[in-house]
A and B are shown apart, each in its own frame.
Chain A
Amino acid sequence: GNSVTQMEGPVTLSEEAFLTINCTYTATGYPSLFWYVQYPGEGLQLLLKATKADDKGSNKGFEATYRKETTSFHLEKGSVQVSDSAVYFCALSDDTGGGNKLTFGTGTQLKVEL
């Protein structure tokens, strides 16, 4: 079956530090990959996505590249801000069978301090 593995948190960084949150996946077929962000007390927001191998998704300074050879979709940002503090979820969508179901990782909490 499909699965997503994320690095455990919390990840604590100083403002302007470089961020990497690792994500690897196992899937049948050719999944689409997503990063969602959940700010405290809120729902999930789509941060970025990639639908095929070697695609790079980017948004708000975050980026992730779909690496089929390593089955990875690591999230990076060059300079984090306090406002980036949130929980980040990696997910895949595999429409095998027409279900379009999302499989989520466990989430990684990011804390950015001044």
Chain B
Amino acid sequence: SAVISQKPSRDICQRGTSLTIQCQVDSQVTMMFWYRQQPGQSLTLIATANQGSEATYESGFVIDKFPISRPNLTFSTLTVSNMSPEDSSIYLCSVGVSAGGKTQYFGPGTRLLVL
């Protein structure tokens, strides 16, 4: 398994501003992922963060809105840009471990409320 931490754990932001979420893992991992969980909903993959290359975004998510950094094998950031109330969600990072990275372990999440 892996121990994953996220900062901040929660935040309240004004519309039009940006927030950067940090994800730190206690071991080197190849694959890191960012998910969004809207209130009362399931998880939706935003992007896969690859070290040394640009993130791969899922349909409906774009780099200008959700820029991602992956400077090394233990750290990644997700920025939510130009926020609106519709961005109010829980944002979770996960890492893929074990054989082929098929098993994902999740961080505790960042709870974001945009006013």
Contact = CB atoms under 8 A, between A and B. Distances in A.
A100 B42 contact: no
B101 A44 contact: no
A99 B100 CA distance: 10
Interface residues of B, number: 22
A42 B103 contact: no
A82 interface: no
Which of A32, A42, A43, A99 is most buried by chain B, counting CB atoms within 10 A of its CB? A43
B48 interface: yes
Given A44-B92, A99-B48, A93 B42 contact: no
Contacts, number: 53
A43 B104 CA distance: 12
A100 B96 contact: yes
B102 to A, nearest CB: 5
Interface in B72-96: 90, 92, 94, 96
A26 interface: no
A32 B108 CA distance: 23
B42 A102 contact: no
A99 B55 CA distance: 12
A101 B103 CA distance: 10
Interface of B: 1, 31, 33, 41-43, 45, 48, 90, 92, 94, 96, 100-109
